[in-house]
């Protein structure tokens, strides 16, 4: 049960904040094309509450399925048979439901990152987030057949460990290291919102509010 909960929560804690981060970037600059009005639910408190809601849903799934259909020990006989039989705890449907829930969040990250690809480059964390979630999907999908067809328990354990470690490093490298680099080395001079609106809409908007500056998203 602990392994099942840890795997589901690891992905959820990793990608729920990422999903809300890229959604926030997209909503801010989409609203900037239309008006100077601040979008709702983009403040730090709102973002934290929504992250907690997403994580709480994952915890509810874990507790519900752990109560209704917990993991049970099973015997694994290799093919062709060898001179011993391995026993391990087979994950129940709770892990499958939890992974599907996380897959929906990761897919949402991919879609929003794709939609947010045209925001200004000095604010465009969505590019790095997109690379992270695309890589996560590829690694995770490649691990499913390896895990399912493994004849030895050690292979199953190694596959799960490799997926979790690769996803953790990909998220660290693609999402957090660029942010640390930007904080340390990149000077943020602000962005002229009217210039950005004119570029994003093909120059069709006027420069009536040319002195307005979008603050940093950090």
Judge whether residue 157 has pLDDT over 50.
yes
Assign 218 a pLDDT band (cuts: 50, 70, 90): very low
Please identify which residue in the block is written with the tokens 């660029």: 178
CA distance 172 to 19: 15
Instruction: State both tokens at 86.
Output: 């391995």
Average pLDDT estimate for 114-133: 73
Exposure letters 31-43 (e unless 16+ CB within 10 A, then b): ebeeeeeeeeebe
Q: What are residue 1's DSSP bridge partners?
A: none
Burial class of residue 13 (count of CB atoms within 10 Å of its CB; 0-12, 13-18, 19+): middle
Closest among 11, 177, 37, 33 to 115, alpha carbons compared:
33
3-state secondary structure of 146: helix
Is the pTM higher than 0.85? The answer reads: no
Please identify which residue in the block is written with the tokens 């981060």: 21
pLDDT tens, residue by residue, 163-194: 888 888 888 888 778 778 777 777 655 544 45
């Amino acid at each position: 049960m602990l392994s099942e909960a840890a795997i589901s929560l690891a992905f959820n804690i990793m990608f729920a904040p990422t999903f809300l981060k890229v959604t926030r970037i997209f909503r801010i600059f989409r609203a900037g094309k239309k008006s100077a009005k601040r979008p709702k639910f983009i403040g730090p408190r709102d973002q934290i509450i929504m992250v907690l809601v997403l994580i709480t849903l994952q915890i509810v799934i874990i507790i519900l399925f752990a109560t209704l259909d917990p993991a049970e020990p099973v015997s694994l006989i290799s093919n062709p048979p060898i001179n011993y039989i391995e026993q391990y705890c087979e994950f129940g449907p709770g892990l499958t439901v939890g992974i599907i829930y996380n897959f929906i969040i990761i897919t949402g990250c991919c879609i929003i990152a794709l939609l947010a690809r045209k925001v200004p480059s000095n604010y465009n964390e969505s590019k790095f987030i997109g690379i992270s979630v695309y890589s996560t999907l590829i690694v995770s999908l490649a691990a499913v057949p390896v895990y399912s067809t493994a004849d030895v328990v050690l292979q199953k354990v190694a596959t799960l460990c490799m997926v979790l470690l690769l996803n953790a490093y990909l998220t660290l490298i693609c999402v957090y290291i660029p942010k640390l680099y930007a904080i340390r080395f990149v000077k943020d001079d602000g962005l002229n919102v009217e210039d950005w609106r004119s570029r994003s809409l093909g120059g069709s908007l006027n420069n009536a509010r040319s002195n307005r500056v979008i603050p940093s998203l950090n």
